Amino acid sequence: MARLGSKKIGIWGRLKRLALTDVGALVRGLNAGDLEQIEQLLIEADFGVAATLDLVEFLEGEVRKGSVKSEAQLHAALRERLRVMLAGPANPDDIVRPITGPAVVLVLGVNGVGKTTTVAKLAWRLKRAGMNVLLGAADTWRAGAVAQLELWAERMAVPCVSGKAGGDPAAVAFDAVEAGVARGMDVVIIDTAGRLHTQDNLMTELAKVVRVIGRKLPDAPHEVLLVLDGTVGQNAVQQGRLFAEVVPLTGLIVTKLDGTAKGGAVVALRRELNVPIRFLGLGETVEDLEPFDAGRMADILMESGEE
Ligand SMILES: Nc1nc2c(ncn2[C@@H]2O[C@H](COP(=O)(O)OP(=O)(O)OP(=O)(O)O)[C@@H](O)[C@H]2O)c(=O)[nH]1
Ligand SMILES: [Mg+2]
């Protein structure tokens, strides 16, 4: 299983190479050149402008106050700052479930971010926790999409309700929820077609899927999870904003964090969107999903980053 932090995502090594931890520099204070280089490093690692400025200002302040006198103190101070920045609203470990009936989880996002894989990962996780899970293959748009999810379903021995290619995704979602209720399922997870946040018709279709699910089961969907590719930086932030305008999101899942040096996107997303990060995607198998934890993420970002 790919592990978060096993690659080069950490920024500490790169920060250190900027001579930041030179004790002299810490005592003298950081000069404009140091700060600019640090700023640049954070921007390059996809922290985004707001989080970058926050971190640089924090560093500057700590050094000016003289509260940081050693490498270890600097590491601890930055780690704590990142943890606080990453900590969010209540962040349930797993899927929110209603008192009766199945929890309905709708998974959305732009093309190729990892939605279908994430549906399989979530199903596997919940199944292993002892829940009965049913999948809904509501990507009737892309050729092969239904077969892709059905293959995952078969491998995991999880039932799957599928639509016809070119059919109405809202109808598939409706059927999946209905089957979930009839069969006494604990969770119904619905995969949707990739869509760009700029495609008005497809975004309207998404709003319809949400409405139709609600008609079948009041309060559903209980979870609307937006999948974002963690390697696309500020684009992911923009996608999050625009999807959230169309459907209320209950969480974000950030994928492809295995094998990227740009883990700052997680901080940018947390900072710039008011939606909790719920899970991280760390590879291509069903095992590669991890609940998001601010402290752990801060630790990983503060790893040296050398492979
Ligand atoms: N390395 C890595 N690859 C991933 C991760 N999640 C998904 N992928 C890969 O990304 C590619 C696209 O994944 P899908 O799950 O098909 O993405 P999708 O969003 O459903 O794509 P569309 O339905 O075409 O919009 C596949 O090759 C996956 O194996 C991840 O966390 N890490
Ligand atoms: Mg898909």
Give the pLDDT of residue 2.
Answer: 45
Does residue 21 have a pLDDT over 60?
Answer: no
Q: Looking at 26, 55, 86, which one is the last position of a domain?
A: 86
Query: Residue 145's domain is classified under what CATH number?
Result: 3.40.50.300
Average pLDDT over residues 247-261: 91
Does residue 76 sit in the same domain as residue 107?
no
**Average pLDDT, whole number, for the chain?**
89
Q: What is the mean pLDDT of residues 104-123?
A: 97
Q: Are residues 159 and 276 in the same domain?
A: yes
Parent domain of 280: 103-291
* Confidence class for position 67, pLDDT limits 50, 70, 90: confident
- Nearest ligand to the CA atom of 258: 1
- For the entire predicted model, the pTM comes to 0.92
| Mean pLDDT, residues 144-155 taken together | 96
Does ligand 1 lie within 6 Å of residue 263's CB atom?
no
The reply to whether 116 and 222 lie within a common domain is: yes
With respect to residue 157, please indicate whether it lies within any of the assigned structural domains: yes
Cα separation, 136 vs 83, in Å, equals: 36
Whether 194 is in the pocket of ligand 1, judged by its Cβ within 6 Å, is yes
Same domain as 16, residue 147: no
Instruction: Tell me, yes or no, whether 188 and 241 share the same domain.
Output: yes
Same domain, 112 and 65: no
Q: Is residue 109 part of a domain?
A: yes
pLDDT tens, position by position, 162-196: 988 889 999 999 999 999 999 999 999 999 999 99
Is the predicted pLDDT of residue 262 greater than 90, yes or no? no
Q: Is residue 237 part of a domain?
A: yes
Q: Are residues 239 and 150 in the same domain?
A: yes
Q: Does 88 score more than 80 pLDDT? A: no
Q: Please indicate, yes or no, whether residues 50 and 192 belong to a single structural domain of this protein.
A: no
Predicted local confidence at residue 15, as pLDDT: 81
What pLDDT does 251 receive? Answer: 95
Residue 138 lies in a domain: yes
Q: In total, how many domains does the chain have?
A: 2
Q: Hunting for tokens 């598939």 — which residue is that?
A: 172
79 and 111 in a common domain: no
- Averaged pLDDT for residues 124-136: 97
Q: Is 4 within a domain?
A: no
Nearest one of 209, 206, 231 to 220, comparing CA atoms: 209
Which of 86, 116, 146 is the last residue before a domain boundary?
Answer: 86
Cross-sheet strand order for the sheet of 160-162: 160-162, 133-138, 187-192, 103-108, 223-229, 251-255, 277-281, 289-291
Alpha carbons within 13 angstroms on the beta-carbon side of residue 82 total: 28
Would the CB of 283 count as within 6 Å of ligand 1? yes
Q: Which tokens is 35 given?
A: 């700060």
**Backbone CA torsion sign across 199, 205, 207, 213:** negative
Q: Is the model's pLDDT at 6 over the cut of 80? A: no
- The fraction of the chain above a pLDDT of 90, given in percent, is 65
26 vs 17: CA distance, rounded Å: 14
- The residue ranking higher by pLDDT, 75 or 1, is 75
Q: Domain check: are 284 and 254 in the same one?
A: yes
- Assign 3-class secondary structure to the chain: CCCCCCCCCCCHHHHHHCCCCCHHHHHHCCCHHHHHHHHHHHHHCCCHHHHHHHHHHHHHHHHHHCCCCCHHHHHHHHHHHHHHHHCCCCCCCCCCCCCCCCEEEEEECCCCCCHHHHHHHHHHHHHHCCCCEEEEEECCCCCCHHHHHHHHHHHHCCCEEECCCCCCHHHHHHHHHHHHHHCCCCEEEEEECCCCCCCHHHHHHHHHHHHHHHHHCCCCCCEEEEEEECCCCHHHHHHHHHHHHHCCCCEEEEECCCCCCCCHHHHHHHHHCCCCEEEEECCCCCCCEEECCHHHHHHHHCCCCCC
From the alpha carbon of 110, which atom of ligand 1 is closest? 25
* Residue 5 domain flag: no
Whether residue 222 sits in one domain with residue 112: yes
In a domain, 98, yes or no: no
Indicate which CATH number applies to the domain containing 51: 1.20.120
Ligand nearest to the CA of 152: 1
Asked if residue 283 belongs to a domain, the reply is yes
Quick one: pLDDT at residue 10? 83
128, 67: one domain: no
Q: Which ligand is closest in space to the CA of residue 285?
A: 1
What tens digit of pLDDT does each residue of 213-226 get? Answer: 999 999 999 999 99
Best substitution site from 151, 284, 290 to test ligand 1's pocket, by max atoms within 8 Å of Cβ?
A: 284
